Structure 1
Amino acid sequence: MAAIVKSAREAFATGKTLPMSFRRKQLEGLLRMYDEGKQEIMDALKQDLRKTTFEGTLYEIEILKTDVKGILRNLKDWTKEEQLPFNALSFTDNASVHKDPLGVVLILGTWNYPFVMALQPLAGAIAAGNCAVIKPSEVSANSSATIARLLPRYLDKDCYKVFEGDVTATITLLEEKFDYIFATGSVAVGRSVMAAAAKHLTPVTLELGGKSPTYIDDSVNMERTVKRILWGKLINLGQTCIAPDYVLISKARQQEFLDVASKVLAEYYGDNWQKNPDLTRIINERHFNRLKKVLDATKGRVAIGGQTDQKDLWISPTIIVDVDPATDSTMEDEIFGPILPIVNVESPEAAIKFIRNRPKPLALYIFSENSDLIEKFKTKTSSGGLCVNDCVVHTGYVGLPFGGVGTSGMGNYHGKYTVDTFCHKKAVLQRGISAVSEKLGDSRYPPYTNGKIKLMSFGIGAIHKFDVTYNKFVTHALAAALGAGILFAGLALKSL
């Protein structure tokens, strides 16, 4: 492990990751890998999760391809130095924000979306000019092995390294000094990563999870609402960090929800859900037993589903009602499976209070046609992301950041936000040193006088007023002065 990190650090020290041509070549290599290695990726997903071709193609490969294409298209703009606007009070100076790569970064993937969670952050790290060590999850062993096999074929072997190992090996890896750690996993994983990072004061991005609520207002069309909720819940058989974790709905509309849910599930998966090829499986026996324990311990009533098969790692889509949020097993931790408890609330205000009294979720879903109500949820709740009248899709919307808040995580990524995550924004000020520049700043020098205090106070207080971005008068005045200068120069030349 130490040798892997040392090798990556030596590669970074050569400066080979800095040229845009190198970064572009590596990103193009990733894109080729997703095309040429598609079958290997799909085979690994099927072996680990029995993931369908539909889900593997759209929710892993196509997401990765779209992300890399977006970064390639915008690479120059997203990584260029940002110039501060001209300021009339400091016209001899030049100020900018330079985007430095951080160095050698560690990316810890997870098992539920083993390719996306490891390789989407990698694209941003490459674009920002870093070297990287990628540690896929050992739980999805076939996907981990596939990443380790494919990456060296398409990326620079010195700069981008894959480390495979179990939990103990990961803990040891975290003892190494990295310049940034990007980790996806549970809250427990987040705490472990932060504790390890503290030793070296290493900055982190943590993409965790939590119990993402779904509130259904009485104003909604129930059929469309249920279709979207069940789709979001049952992608990857509920093993999605932003899957709807529980539903908040009034008692008056609960039975309608259940009736529509029965109809929709039959439309989606027919009569024998276990034999339907569009449903994946629980990742392993440990997670199956965890979910079975939740199901067995619930004091609520199983209204739909509830069937399990340990040999097949199968738990059917399950909806539970009459749930006591204070004591029920389904309301303790993030479910991360196909179990959907329903909690009754009799008003939007009660739903908001319920959400606010719990840890901040990674996602919050609201189904409503009342714009005032939507605004209330937007301003009175806190969550990593808010999606109105749908589930999950906000994470794939180009231009939106994805990340948690509080116990659901810190930092964000996707597109430009991924590149920014792996950059250090370095302040750069280049001052003029001419006689004019010196005269403009000589009030700062001793001996200090009341006159100098007044002059410096004016300069500090008025600096933003002379920024051409904020003051249209200054912009127009400068334009007028330039125009006048051109006019007088023209007249002078004409008179010669």
Structure 2
Amino acid sequence: MEAVKETVDQSLREMRDTFASGRTRSVKWRKAQLGAIIEMVKDNEEKMSDVLFQDLGKHSTEAFRDELGFVMRSATTALNCLDKWVVPRNSNLPLLFYPATGKVISEPYGTVLVLSSWNFPISLSLDPMIGAIAAGNTVLLKASELSPNASALLAKLIPSYLDTKAIKVIEGGPDIATILLQHQWDKIFFTGSPKIGKIIMAAAAEHLTPVTLELGGKCPTIIDHHSVSKDMKAYYVLVEQSFASTLIDMFKPVIRSFFGENPKESGCLAKIVTKKHFQRLSRLLNDPRVKASIVYGGSMDEEKLYVEPTILLDPPLDSEIVNEEIFGPILPIITLRDIQESIGFIKSKPKPLAIYAFTKDENLKTRILSETSSGSVTFNDLMIQYMCDALPFGGVGQSGMGRYHGKYSFECFSHEKAIMEGSLAMDPEARYPPWNNFKLNFIRLAFREAYFKLVLLMLGLTKGVRK
């Protein structure tokens, strides 16, 4: 472990020295690294697909859709938009500050730590790194030990394509993360569970380090029976009791169309990531009260880390499977007397990363937006907001803090610095003691924009004053 500590110390020193040299602030350097990420994924698409299958059982099509293609698009967007993102933004200052001018510039935080998750081990490693590089930071990535093949591949490829003095990868488990968190970082980006998120935040607080936490959680899908899709993938479903059996009958043939009569052999259903995770799901499903709610599926194979697509109808609301993130092909359906009751149900739970709602009812849409809080809301589709880099992605409350994707990733890893420039040609005495009523009235007038503009017009000081 001492050798690991020395490696971390040395890596940090080198990254900090590199940042201090100013090299990573160069737009040319940033573009070179972003281009190298695109080339790395293109050159190694097959290898990346292979490790995703080894770790998670992901089909190559799913791997490209959710990870490899997503990363290439993210890096391409940053590469194409970087010149525009780095331009200082002029600020329209109130007349109170005339004749000063103002602008905002984006500067990198410095040396940042990215702690990624196992469920999307390529994209959740490289996508935050893209934002950090685009913003001009040096980066250390700690990939998840629960996807060891993907972690090992990233540790091998990244030094072959990217600037090794500025961008580094370290492998290992919680013990390595503990060592990393003992150091001072300029920014920490973490994807994982709320439990570990609290540990990350506590460690960051020791150094007043800003954090972005992507924590997930239980994401509800509201199904108004007037608006039903045949191929829904959800974390849990809220539906009117009168429509539940119809919905289940609709789900069954769709599951068979996706995975065939024997999903275990389909090659299209991802496996459970580890034996520990499998045993957790087995324990949750074998709770007698939960087991009684199974209306479809339920078979398991520990040797192959396989859980059959499973539907639960009204499992106990106090059960773990209803209240904890599942990470398996298990769908709880919770029935309500009226679909409008879904609002109160969601409000009774921790704020989710996303709410999905299939409805044509504009009143229900308005209520969801105005009466609930979540990282995002998607109507009449599922999960596509994650892949849309024109929208921010992030949680709220227990589902996380901060946002990223596209320009929001650049902003996530940038400090927005305010710049104000005054003028020595105009320095009203009313700003300084000794105080008197004349100065007080002048200051009152200055705070009333329209009257202050009239005074400037009367004094002939209108050049440069905004209209």
Q: 1:340 Cα deviation (Å)?
A: 0.6
Which letter does structure 2 place at the counterpart of 1:107?
Answer: V
Which residue pairs with 2:14 in the alignment? 7
Aligned-residue offset at 1:442: 2.2
Q: Which moved more, 1:128-137 or 1:43-52?
A: 43-52
Give the TM-score normalised by structure 1: 0.88
2:58 corresponds, among 35, 38, 51, to 51
Counterparts of 2:141 and 2:123 in 1: how far apart (Å)? 12
Question: 2: distance between equivalents of 1:343 and 1:331?
Answer: 9
Equivalent residue for 1:456?
A: 443
Partner of residue 279, structure 1: 269
User: Which amino acid is 2:378 matched to?
Assistant: C
**Residue type at the aligned position of 2:103:** S
For the pair 1:311 / 2:298, whether they are aligned, the reply is no
1:148 aligns with 2:135: no
State the distance in 2 between where 1:175 and 1:481 align.
50
Residue identity matched to 1:304: Y
What's the offset of the Cα at 1:5?
A: 1.2
Shift in CA distance, 442/354, structure 1 to aligned 2, threshold 3 Å: same
The residue that corresponds to 1:414 in the other structure is 405
TM-score for the superposition, normalised by structure 2? 0.93
Aligned to 1:331: 322
1:323 deviates by 1.9
1:130 aligns with 2:137: yes
One-letter amino acid of the structure 1 residue matched with residue 87 of structure 2: K
Counterpart residue number, 2:432: 445
**Distance in 2 (alpha carbons) for counterparts of 1:280 and 1:264:** 17
Q: Which amino acid aligns with 1:61?
A: L
Q: Secondary structure at the match of 1:401?
A: coil
Report the CA distance between 1:370 and its aligned residue: 0.9
Any idea what the Cα deviations from partners look like across 1:98-133, whole Å, max 9, x if unmatched?
111100000001101001111101111111110010
Give the partner amino acid of 2:407: K
Q: CA deviation at 1:463?
A: 7.9
Percentage identity across aligned positions? Answer: 36
Structure 2 counterpart of 1:20? 27
Alignment check: 8 A CA contact 2:131 2:410 kept: yes
* Aligned-residue RMSD, C-alpha: 1.9
Deviation per CA, 1:392-441: give whole Å up to 9, x if none.
Answer: 1111123110000000000010001100011111111111112xx22xx3
Match of 2:240 among 233, 250, 258: 250
SS in 1 for 2:249: helix
Check conservation: 2:151, 2:171, Cα contact below 8 A: yes
Conserved 8 A contact 1:300-1:324: no
- Alpha-carbon offset, residue 205 of structure 1: 0.2
Matched, 1:260 2:260: no
Q: Determine the C-alpha separation between the residues in 1 that align with 2:447 and 2:69.
A: 51
Aligned AA (2:249): D
Report what 2:71 is aligned to: 64
Residues 469-488 of structure 1 mapped to structure 2, 5 A cutoff? none
Partner of 1:352: 343
Map of 2:314 onto structure 1? 322
Task: Please show how residues 28-427 of structure 1 align to structure 2 within 5 Å.
Answer: 28-85=35-92, 90-220=97-227, 222=228, 225-227=229-231, 229=232, 232=233, 244-297=234-287, 298-325=290-317, 327-427=318-418
2:3 aligns to what? Answer: none
Measured after TM superposition, the shift of residue 478 of structure 1 is: 7.6
1:486: which partner in 2? Answer: none
**Structure 1 pair 71/357, CA: closer, same or farther in 2 (3 Å)?**
same
Structure 2: which amino acid aligns with 1:454?
N
Deviation of 1:336 (Å): 1.4
Query: 5+ residue gaps in structure 1?
Result: 233-243, 467-476, 483-496
Amino acid paired to 1:132:
V
What is the Cα deviation at residue 457 of structure 1? 1.9
**1:270 alignment partner AA:** G
Which one has a bigger Cα radius of gyration? 1
Residues 63 and 464 of structure 1: CA distance in aligned 2, closer, same or farther (over 3 Å):
farther
Amino acid in the other structure paired with 1:282: I
Is contact 1:207–1:403 with CA below 8 Å preserved after alignment? Answer: yes
Residue type of the alignment partner of 1:378? L
1:474 is aligned to none
| Whole-angstrom CA distance in 1 between matches of 2:442 and 2:379 | 53
How far 1:159 sits from its partner (Å)? 0.4
* Counterpart for residue 456 of structure 2: none
Partners of 2:445 and 2:451 within 8 A in 1 = no
CA distance 1:167–1:453, shift in 2 (3 Å): same
Pairs aligned (count)? 450
Aligned-pair CA distance for 1:245: 1.7
Contact 1:300 1:328 in 2 (8 A): no
Q: CA deviation at 1:90?
A: 4.2
Distance 1:181 1:349, change over 3 A: same
Q: 1:129 to 1:261 in 2, by over 3 A?
A: same
Say which SS state the counterpart of residue 286 (structure 2) adopts.
helix
Residues 49-106 of structure 1, C-alpha deviations (whole Å, 9 max, x = no match)? 1210101111101100111111111101212211112655544322111111100000
Residue 443 of structure 1 deviates from its aligned partner by 1.1
